[in-house]
Each structure stands twice: as structure tokens, then as C-alpha cells.
Structure 1
């Protein structure tokens, strides 16, 4: 089959559906309904302020800029961005994440942040957003089955720039799933769509993005093994004592001691793709 005959959006959806079926976790936002998990996620993110600062400083944001952050989580980028932009609109469907983001904004003295508590797929730009934005960002939040429609809406919401961040190759947590899934669920783990498919979706729509590859270590810290097992229980679909024992045994072998706690780490590759919206009109 020739390249121009491939429906890359259908490829994305097929991989997305296979991954969701394999994980059995429903919508991507569903695991972040808990405020406790959202606070833990924010704490882990804020332990690496250099990475957050590096991302923000690389964006074309000025004092008068208006920014849209899609899948903003607990405000990891949205709240710091509000400190340098005129206004930030953050789209976040998970209750826990949105509530923690509001807390984080209040603690940081941020008043120029609006939170839209919807999935990006359900957002109506004419109703839910405030006009068009100078910069639209989707940072590791592309858990959307129809990525083409999602990208088209991003272009519609932007007056100039769109920035998306996604994964290339297996992530640190997916490698653990590859190792564990046969023991836990009797079948192999299926990866979701990666940055190669995303690039081809863009390219097939006449969008030729700038691309930057980011190689680095992903680190998660835990007080002890019990906390780690509790953190991973839902993500790994643990429903029985036997499964929990498999999970406990695995992480007792891969977690390393760091100070007073434990660390799960691994190298991974991320990609930043960005373009001017003239490329998608």
C-alpha cells in the first residue's frame, strides 16, 4: 500500500483501542479522578523544576500572550505559564486533577487561569473557550481516539502556534507492563500509538511540523514498597491477592533505594512537534 493510501488516523485509533482494551482502564482521564493521586502526580512533577522551566522557556510566550493548555493535569505547566502569560485556559476533564490545579493556582497567587472541566473531544470552542489563543499546548495528553479531529480543533483554537508533546518508543512504565502483563493477565501488553503515527497524521493533513527529540530519565519516587504497590494497583489492574503478590515481587526487584525512599527510573524518548496554524488551514 502506498503511503498516501494509508489512513493514519485509523492507524492511531486502532492502536489506541487495542491499548485501552488491553489495559481495561476506560478513558485515559479516569485514573486521575482521585485528588490524592493528582497531588502525588503534581508533587512528582514539581520535583523536576528544570524540565518545567525548560519547556516553558522554549515556548513563544510573552506578557500579552493568551495560552490554551489541553489536558493540563494538576496545572504542572498551566500554573507556571500563568505567571508569564496574560491569561491561560486549561482544559482538564478529571475531577481530581482539576481540583488540585485550582488549589495549586490559589496557593501560587494565580488569578488569570480559567479551568474548563471537559474532555477536549467535548469542548465547543465557540462556547467553552475565549476566542483564539496565541499558543495552544497539549503536553503528553493525546489520549484521544480521533487524533485528527483533536488536532483540527487545536488549529481552530489557535491564532498562531500549536505545540504537542508525545512519546517515541516504550515509556518506563510501559516496559514494566510488557514484563508483567503475561503474568498478571495471561496475554501480552499492547502499546498505544506513538509519535511516528502522530507525525504521519499531521503530514497527511498538510502539516509539516518542526520536530525535537528529547531523551531523558523518567523517575518516580515512593516512600516504601507498600506505597508503590498501592500507586500501581489500579494502573496494572490488580484485583486479586495473587496478582498483587506478582506486582510486589516485581517492584521489589526493580525499585532502587534512594535516601529514605525507593525510586523507579528508566530512560525514555519524548518528542515535541510544533507548527504555525497556517499549516493546517
Structure 2
């Protein structure tokens, strides 16, 4: 494929280690769970994701990084059984509460993450990873997905290399090293003999509202890790100029939807 062999798995790791967008730990997501659950559990994104899947009522599904049940609950209504795993115990509590409200009983949860031992998990028909594959070892994560799926795998990964709009970063003077973009995924899958299909889901989350400039700054720090005093003041200025009265006209976020067959 290339004149000289390229180690894309190693390249991804090196890029991931240098990016400003560091992975969150389970405690971070525990603290975010109650705030995020309502808007994640009901969104057009869910319909867009599921509409791209080939599923039947007899299928079993593994949902990795399931969060508060964003996909697990709707999928449970369409398939035989869902195994939902997440390294945030509070996210799993939100999922279980959501399942109870919806009368869904065909979900089994496990408090484990990407890096944990999955040997006790059964093989399933379908594996999904919705916006959750922010891992250091991408090659291993994709291998885990493929090895647990009898039929197919589906995942989404943010395009563009940044969780924050580049216009905001330019305005506040925040220089970043972007995160690895989605194209690593199809390359690594192709290397292992899979023929992945790529599509894109656009989301425009109007439910994310900032009541004041401080909330806006806090959200930026959550994504970026830190802002100095001058950058925080510029962020507040940006909020007042471009966000405060225009929150219904936010730019869409694009997610690469990657699908591949695991059938031999």
C-alpha cells in the first residue's frame, strides 16, 4: 500500500500522547453523569446511528462505553439482548434508571472499560462504540471489538482533531496539538483485513445551553484541561459576542461513522 511500511498504530499512540485533549478518568465522568444524561438519552444522533446499522430482533449487542444508555436503551427495544459496559459507575446508574423508566429489562451491565479484561464477556452478534473510543491503544481497542462480534461492528469518532471549535481557540489565543483524527481507524482496520465503510453523522446539540460566561469557560476547561487568566477573559468576551444570544445557531459537529463486517 505504501512504498515503505508505516506503523500507524505507533503513530496514533505518539499523537495521542501529545494532544492537549487528554482522556478523562472514571471520576470525571461520574461527576458529569447527571448533567449529561438527559441530553444524551434523547437526541437525533441516536436515530441516525441506529438507522445505519443492520440489526434484527434476534441479535445480541455489546455497547462499549455505553454512558447513560444513549444507544443501549433504544437498541434493547430492537434486539434480543444488550450487554452495556462503562468504566463510570455513575453512568451505569443513569442507564439503569433510564431502563426502569422505559420498562427495558433485557440489558446486562458491567463496570469495566476499554483497558480491562473482557474475557468474561460473551461473544455477541453486534459490537458498538458510540463516541467512546478515545483510547491510547487504538489497534488493541479495534481488535477487541472485532474479536467479540460475530456479524459486525459500528463506531463513531469525532472528525477534525478538536473537541472545541477552532474559531474559539483562535479568538482566545489557545494553541493546541490536535487529537488523532478518524482516518487512523479505517487504515488500521484495513491492515487487519477488514473493508470498513465510512459515513458521517452531523449533530447540532441545541440542548447544550450556557446560562452565563462562567459556564462557557468551565466547559472549555473541561475539554482543554486549562486556560490562563487572559484566555479565560477572552473566552468570556467570545461568549458575549458570539454565543450568548446565538446559541440556536451553533455549528454542527461531524462524527465519522465506521462500520465493518466480522463474518468469515
TM above 0.5, yes or no, is: yes
Distance 1:44 1:199 in 2: 29
The offset of 1:221, in angstroms, is 2.4
Distance 2:110 2:236 in 1: 38
SS at match of 1:111: coil
Higher strand proportion, which one?
A: 1
Spell out the pairing of 1:201-212 with structure 2 (5 A cutoff): 201-212=188-199
The offset of 1:204, in angstroms, is 1.6
Distance 1:233 1:175 in 2: 15
The offset of 1:212, in angstroms, is 1.5
Partner in structure 2 of residue 106 of structure 1: 100
Distance 1:3 1:105 in 2: 52
Residues 147/223 of structure 1: CA separation in 2 closer, same or farther (3 Å cut):
closer
2:185 is the counterpart of 1:190: no
Residues 217/63 of structure 1: CA separation in 2 closer, same or farther (3 Å cut):
same
Partner in structure 1 of residue 34 of structure 2: 39
The offset of 1:68, in angstroms, is 0.5
Distance 1:245 1:201 in 2: 42
2:62 is the counterpart of 1:68: yes
Aligned length: 263
Taking structure 1 as the reference length, the TM-score comes to: 0.81
Partner in structure 1 of residue 124 of structure 2: 133
Q: Structure 2: any 5+ residue segments left out of the alignment?
A: none
SS at match of 1:51: helix
SS at match of 1:266: coil
Residues 56/4 of structure 1: CA separation in 2 closer, same or farther (3 Å cut):
farther
Distance 1:77 1:123 in 2: 23
Partner in structure 2 of residue 144 of structure 1: 135
Q: Structure 1: any 5+ residue segments left out of the alignment?
A: none
Q: Given that residues 189 and 196 in structure 2 are in contact (C-alpha distance below 8 angstroms), is that contact kept between their aligned partners in structure 1?
A: yes
Spell out the pairing of 1:1-281 with structure 2 (5 A cutoff): 2=2, 5-19=5-19, 22-23=20-21, 25-27=22-24, 29-34=26-31, 37-48=32-43, 50-124=44-118, 126-127=119-120, 129=121, 131-171=122-162, 173-175=164-166, 178-179=169-170, 182-183=173-174, 188-219=175-206, 221-225=208-212, 226-238=214-226, 244-257=232-245, 262-263=247-248, 265-278=250-263
Residues 121/85 of structure 1: CA separation in 2 closer, same or farther (3 Å cut):
same
Higher helix proportion, which one?
A: 1
| Structure 1 vs Structure 2 CA RMSD | 2.7
Q: Given that residues 29 and 93 in structure 1 are in contact (C-alpha distance below 8 angstroms), is that contact kept between their aligned partners in structure 2?
A: yes
The offset of 1:98, in angstroms, is 2.0
Residues 99/242 of structure 1: CA separation in 2 closer, same or farther (3 Å cut):
farther
Structure 1, residues 255-275: CA drift from partner, whole Å, max 9, x if none?
1436xxx45721333221111
Q: Given that residues 152 and 263 in structure 2 are in contact (C-alpha distance below 8 angstroms), is that contact kept between their aligned partners in structure 1?
A: no
Q: Given that residues 45 and 203 in structure 2 are in contact (C-alpha distance below 8 angstroms), is that contact kept between their aligned partners in structure 1?
A: no
